[in-house]
Amino acid sequence: MNMIALLAVKEIREGLRNRWVIASTALLATLALTLTFLGSAPTGNVGADALDVIVVSLASLTIFIVPLIALLISHDAIVGEIERGTMTLLLSYPIRRWQVLLGKFLGHLAILAFATLIGYGVAATALAATGKSIGGASWFAFATMTATSVLLGAVFVAIGYLVSALSRDHGTASGVAIGIWLLFVLIYDMALLGLLVADQGRFVTPGMLDALLLLNPTDAYRLLNLMGTAEISSASGMSGTIQNAALGSFSLVAALAAWTAMPMAAAAFIFSRREL
């Protein structure tokens, strides 16, 4: 465990040295503050607290930004170290390959969690400073959104490690990582929407739709955060879709946890058999 903790600290220090921590935090804080002061204007029209609208806005922002940051910091975690020759040096110490992977994962997740908590926390603090009335349910929804944003980041850090374990060079890993981001964030939902429009309810049953949503971690994250309260569902404009979905919070969290565990297990298996 000491070696895993040391590797995690090493990744955090490298993140600070490469300005990843500062850049990610500044990006999330800037975008969150922009949404806070521009996105809370319609609260009077939708009948929701200002923070409810911010939760909807930040959830949409998270789907685009957090997976991209996670993939950028993790896609060369293995192949990059191999190309630089530092992986051979690292494995010369009494440490197993799965421990290297886990230590790196915890370090990268700490970077992402810090950026998310500070970035979104600044936005919530700024909104509270305006004196607007915010209910306890809204604060709970905001805390849930922040925590699940870190979990979504963990999913894509794990996917980035799998890409890194499979890739033979840094350039290939970068291209595949961007392709995966486009697939999960843009292409998948566009294809699913096209399927539903073409199907017109003939073959795609509600249960099948739930399964299709679970096949995309960003969709599981979206449903998890937009089904929190009736006000949030109304503000998101997805109350009808959420009412028809049979997925509960436990199922959605379990899906995100599985999306983290499976790529990590696959990455550990491939890395354990990879020649350096």
pLDDT (tens digit per residue) in 82-138? 998 889 888 888 889 999 999 999 999 999 999 999 999 888 888 888 767 677 777
Burial of 27 (0-12, 13-18, 19+ CB in 10 A): middle
Q: Give the pLDDT confidence score for residue 239 in this predicted structure.
A: 47
Report whether pLDDT(46) > 50. Answer: no
Domain carrying residue 172: 2-272
> Could you tell me what percentage of the chain is helix, strand and coil, using 3-state DSSP and rounding each to the nearest 5?
80, 0, 20
Q: Give the pLDDT confidence score for residue 215 in this predicted structure.
A: 94
Do residues 12 and 105 make contact, with C-beta atoms less than 8 angstroms apart?
Answer: no
Q: Give the pLDDT confidence score for residue 45 in this predicted structure.
A: 46
Note the pTM of the prediction, 2 decimals: 0.89
Percent of the chain scored above 70 by pLDDT? Answer: 88
Q: Give the pLDDT confidence score for residue 227 in this predicted structure.
A: 72
Calculate the average pLDDT of the chain: 85
- The amino acid at 33: L
The number of distinct structural domains making up the chain is 1
- The amino acid at 170: H
Q: Give the pLDDT confidence score for residue 266 in this predicted structure.
A: 97
Report whether pLDDT(43) > 70. Answer: no
Round to whole Å and give the CA distance between 28 and 108.
16
